[in-house]
Amino acid sequence: MILKLRMYSDENENFVRDYEIPADMSLKQVNDFIISSLEFVPCMTSFFLLDNDLQVVEEITLMDMSDAELSFKSRTMDSVRLADVILDGYMNLALQFDMILQRSFFLKIIGKVEKRDDIKYPVMTFENAPVPDQFDPNKVDPTEGSIFEEMMDGYSDFDGDDSRNDEW
């Protein structure tokens, strides 16, 4: 089964990426693919499973963060498949890529598609707006990549046309 994931960023409301990913891939493989597709330098990351209210339910880490003394057991990305996330009932995830500033991408499983023999999975199927800078959140222009702005560019010819009575 191939799952369709949509990724958003709260740093730029125009940023969107769609991925088609085999359900049997581990979260480590998904993480590596996404980080590579964004052209990020490999870094410490975590997936967070989110409930329907987008509240964190569980953190799944890149490295084992278990602590026997505290009786804390964590799951690692290489031990969890994308299909496991769905079977556990979660359709929303966060991929935290900046542990210091707690910057993340939001991922939503939006459906499934039939596997095609002519496509090498995983694959990015849609992208809009530039990727937020991995190291500097202040380098983001939240309007960059706006589909609305692009569509409205052609209507600037009407600015300042005093021969039209626009009052109603």
Q: Of 35-39, 67-71, 87-91, 106-110, give the lowest mean pLDDT range.
A: 67-71
Q: Alpha-carbon distance 59 to 46, whole Å? A: 7
pLDDT of amino acid 142:
57
Residue 141 has pLDDT above 70, yes or no: no
pLDDT of amino acid 155:
55
Token readout for 124 is 């990015």
Domains observed in the chain: 2-137 (3.10.290.30)
117 φ, ψ to 5°?
-70, -20
- This prediction has a pTM of 0.81
Average pLDDT estimate for 26-39: 98
CA R_g for the chain: 20
pLDDT of amino acid 139:
78
Tens of pLDDT along 93-134? 999 999 999 999 999 999 999 999 999 999 999 999 999 999
pLDDT of amino acid 64:
81
